[in-house]
Amino acid sequence: MIDLISPDRLKLGKRVDTITKGEDNEKMVIKFCDGTSAEADGVIGCDGIKSRARQIVAGIDNPASYPRYAHESAYRCLVDMDKAFPVLGHLAKRQILFAGHGAHIMAYPVTDCKYLNVAAFVRDSGDWPHDQKHTVSANKDDIVDSFSRFGPYVRDLVKLLPDELNRWGMFDTLDHPLSSFTNGRITLAGDAAHGTTPHLGYGAGMGIEDATVLIAVLEQAAMVLKKGDRGISKEDALVHAFETYDSVHRERAQWLVRISRRQGELVKWEVPEIGGDWDGIYKDMDERIPPLLLFDWEGMIRQATDEFARRIRS
């Protein structure tokens, strides 16, 4: 796909400062922290979980403008397969999840089975300092106690972890969801719109869904402007397109954030009525996973194009 993008269209290492209308209201002006600027008809903010574009869309004093710590951390590292296989046996060559009280481990082989990628998730009742990076250095001793009640597979696997680990704070947008992804000719997509915990492995997938809807409505907007038979301005066409995207897709995207947080609680046995009952865990998952993965994306596109047409007519 990178070959489809002209090099002069891609600028890396940029951080957004402000997004405002130009003096003639024709273009949106994006100013960056390095002093440079760019102009565009509309802006799709995809600047991640710490999104500045989200603050601009929702307002800097709005709690929804900021991600919140989900009170869990992932301790991540690679373990040599030569060391992991004697401990886990055939499980080392498969994706495996070990669940238990207040913690769980996800592991799977990478680099042609040369390494085992390990992510140990641990519940944390404390707060994450506002000015601290979301990834920090940590020590294996910080998590040994969290897995002390697990079985021998897990305890022996934890012993293999290096003394120095990367600790990834889990942040999402569940506590204060946005009331809209869109404000005028600015809209949000990806983690900027619906940052989520990783427990369903679908955060990037939802970003692709965002792009699918946006492509559909922007194509419709371009067709309306090309025909020019309704007297619709470029600004109005873009506003209708972005508002349609928000109307069609925001509810599903925010649903993902909720069910991903739920999944993290399930595999830490934190759901009171289920606990460590695997039949209950699987039943709960079966209610959520099929609607996530077996999704009618073509129907979503039809809904988006119909909704855009309705807005243009009204």
Known catalytic residues are: 76
CA distances from 61 to 27, 32, 125, 187, 199 (A): 26, 21, 26, 18, 29
Task: Give the three-class secondary structure for 65.
Answer: helix
The four Cα atoms 301, 306, 308, 312 give a dihedral, to 10 degrees, of 160
CA neighbor of 186 nearest in space, from 42, 21, 1, 9 = 42
What the block records as the tokens of 56 is 């601009």
Give, for 182, the enclosing helix (H) or strand (E).
Answer: strand 182-183
- CB burial of 15-41 (b: ≥16 within 10 Å; e: otherwise) equals ebeebeeeeeeebbebebeeeeeeeee
Give how far the C-alpha of residue 87 lies from the chain's centroid of Cα atoms, to the nearest Å.
33
Tokens found for residue 229: 């038979």
Distance from C-alpha of 301 to C-alpha of 216, rounded to nearest angstrom: 6
